Amino acid sequence: MKYALVTGGSRGIGRAVCIRLAGMGYHVLINYLKREDEALKTLSMVKQAGCEGSLIQFDVADYAAVESKLGTWQEENPDAYIEVLVNNAGIRKDALMIWMENNLWQDVLNTNLNGFFYPTRFLLKNMLVKKYGRIVNVVSLSGLKGLPGQVNYSAAKAGIIGATKALAQEIGKKRVTVNAVAPGFINTDMTAGLNEDELKNLIPLSRFGQPDEVASVVCFLASEQASYITGEVVSVNGGLYT
């Protein structure tokens, strides 16, 4: 059995990634923090896609929780290792910088940056020992272009992009690849409050994207077919920014 972990896997892009990975034959560990009802829906969809899955609840930004939950899983599955990690969990707390409170800055950087660092560091050792692994980080158009009202989110996602490129160079010789996917405006809970009719006029393809369109790129980078791609950032934004 092959194993994959998707953080923030209960909804949106994370859910779409879980379903596609199940179709690729992976037992998918669906990470979530609060919405167990949505995580259970994702688990049901994973099973319908033809593979097993399981829920694993922890806060990706909590070092002790990451170590405890992933450590327990490893103890219970001593002959297995997680060969695919999709760092999808993240939050936005938008505000213009002049009115940005300290907690808005710290919460967004903590969840997005530490939420990449803690799970990746924990799982990396086994990938290096086994000499095979796929790490895919879901970043954002905001981390490439920068968006007003998102100085915190742009900084966090740009930081993950830099970490993606650096880590790819550290571990490439061990056949572990690290890539990022940068979605633009995608129809998920995170964009529910945006004016799609107005914003789609800025997009050459004249529409928002769908979670599965992002998931298809994520899962290609997570596949064996992407073995010669590392340190890259692939945009999925309808041509909004190239």
Residue 26 designated active-site: no
Contacts of 181 (CB under 8 A, 6+ apart): 136, 137, 138, 139, 214, 217, 218, 221, 233, 234, 236
Taking alpha carbons only, the member of 185, 157, 214 closest to residue 15 is 214
- How many Cα neighbours within 13 Å face the side chain of 127? 27
Quote the CA–CA distance of 215 and 236 in Å, as a whole number.
10
pLDDT in tens, the chain (242 residues): 899 999 999 999 999 999 999 999 999 999 999 999 999 999 999 999 888 899 999 999 999 999 999 999 999 999 999 999 999 999 999 999 999 999 999 999 999 999 999 999 999 999 999 999 999 999 999 999 999 999 999 999 999 999 999 999 999 999 999 999 999 999 887 777 778 888 889 999 999 999 999 999 999 999 999 999 999 999 999 999 98
Task: Extract the tokens encoding 170.
Answer: 């550290």
Tokens of residue 212, six digits: 């599965």
Domain spanning 2-188+211-236: CATH superfamily: NAD(P)-binding Rossmann-like Domain (3.40.50.720)
Set 81, 153, 228, 241: catalytic member? 153
CA distance 236 to 228: 20
Domain residue ranges in the chain: 2-188+211-236
- Pick from 92, 187, 171, 183: nearest CA to 144: 183
Of the candidates 53, 58, 56, the residue with the CA atom closest to the CA atom of residue 24: 53
The 3 state secondary structure assigned to 69-106 is: HHHHHHHHCCCCCEEEEEECCCCCCCECHHHCCHHHHH
Closest CA to 58 of 46, 72, 47, 44: 72
